[in-house]
Amino acid sequence: MRVLSIVSEAPIGTHLTFTRIKLDGEIAAEAEYKSTPDSRYDGMRTRTSRDIMLDIAGLPQLSKECATRVPPPGAKIEDFLSRWSNTKVSLPAAVIVPANEEDIRAVIKYAACQGLRVLPVAGAHGTFLPIDDRCVYLDLSRFNTIELDEDAGAATFGGGGAITEAMIRTLGERGFYTSVPTSSAVGMAGYYLGGGSSPYNGLKGLAIDHILHIRIITADGESRDLSPSSPRKEDAVLFNVLCGAGLGFGVIPSITLRVWRTCFG
């Protein structure tokens, strides 16, 4: 049984839980993968960057807009990754920039077959998660949209961006505000699921208390819409887990949170 570990970026000091989920649908693929006589399939330690590049390029599920890069041996970290700190950072097996949720699901299944971890990255601000050649670096920077529903008093933002300034500007121009990081370098998804301290703590409490909805792709490749009132009990439970235990349970394309009108709105 192949076990896929999904890990996530998080702000410094946030507790991270690693989730391991059995992928029933991948058993046949794993057996076929191990029985291949080609030496490049004996395990990641014997495979080359070219092998990985050929595998990724051959994934029919990836969109044309999905960017993939495989670091060759001896490459410089800074040529492939831009991070706040390079602590515990070495070259990953691949850097993939998905364009949509279908790309994310394809990468998760690919990683499961290859025995790789998936590291979703937003602001690249976390410093305690190891990055190495058993890791697929999933750059979610294209998931950076912001949508405001004035009637509902809610804003939905993409889970892949360090978009603090854009959030302040987008909401402020329409007379709204919400809790945001005090640094524009912090990824928004990691900030909220890590608790979310802001200058509004005295008025509104922690930012995490104002999350209304989370869209997540779990380790089995399923997209799930989570809220406290989700029809499926397990979805409501997972929502509460994310808002309590924090990160490490999947890839988050978007989060919806509560916003408030300013006195000028």
Query: What is the second-level CATH architecture of the domain 146-261?
Result: 2-Layer Sandwich (3.30)
Distance between CA atoms of residues 222 and 243, nearest Å: 19
Nearest Cα to 184, choosing from 137, 156, 144, 215? 144
Long-range contacts: 165-173, Cβ < 8 Å, 24+? 170/146, 171/259, 172/262
**Top-level class of domain 3-139:** alpha beta
Nearest Cα to 212, choosing from 233, 243, 247, 175? 243
pLDDT number for residue 237: 94
188 touches 157 (CB < 8 A) = yes
pLDDT number for residue 48: 55
pLDDT number for residue 121: 87
pLDDT number for residue 126: 66
pLDDT number for residue 125: 67
The 3-state DSSP class for residue 203 equals helix
Q: Average pLDDT for consecutive 10-residue bins of the chain (265 residues)?
A: 35 31 31 29 44 60 87 86 78 92 92 87 72 90 94 93 86 94 84 89 92 94 94 93 84 95 73
CATH 3.30.43 residue ranges of the chain are 3-139
pLDDT number for residue 225: 96
| DSSP letter (8 states) at residue 107 | H
Distance between CA atoms of residues 89 and 91, nearest Å: 7
pLDDT number for residue 56: 64
CATH 3.30.465.10 residue ranges of the chain are 146-261
pTM (global) more than 0.85: no
CA distances from 215 to 64, 81, 156, 190, 235 (A): 24, 26, 10, 14, 10
